[in-house]
Amino acid sequence: MKDFAFGKENFVLIAIAVLLIIIGFVLMSGGGAPDEVSFNPAIFSVRRIVVAPIVTVLGFGLVVVGILKKPKEMPDNGLAEVEVGTSNDQKKRLDKKRK
């Protein structure tokens, strides 16, 4: 398995954040006028002016949290034992030792 910079929890937080951002933009949509010359006051509803921006900003904040949150202890794959300049024989012995 490949080593990722983020853990599973980070990806879940970022996915939830993206969903919140999408929901916020959907809440902002609508309220258009039926034609070009009439005015529809529904564009200034509480949902579009207050609720939707709050939901969207919470989503962006959660993205930041998802990126900055330290993943839980990652399993040690033994790479820390192999130093720069280690010979192939030493690496093979370490691999056998781990198994």
- The pTM (predicted TM-score) of the whole model is 0.66
For residue range 43-84, list pLDDT tens digits in order: 889 999 999 999 999 999 999 999 999 877 655 555 555 455
Q: Could you tell me which residue, 79 or 40, shows the higher pLDDT?
A: 40
- CA-to-CA dists, residue 90 to 22, 93, 95, angstroms: 52, 5, 9
What integer is the mean pLDDT of 80-95? 63
pLDDT surpassing 60 at residue 4: yes
Closest-CA residue to 31 (of 17, 52, 59):
52
Answer for the pair 97, 81: CB distance below 8 angstroms, yes or no.
no
Q: Could you tell me which residue, 9 or 33, shows the higher pLDDT?
A: 9
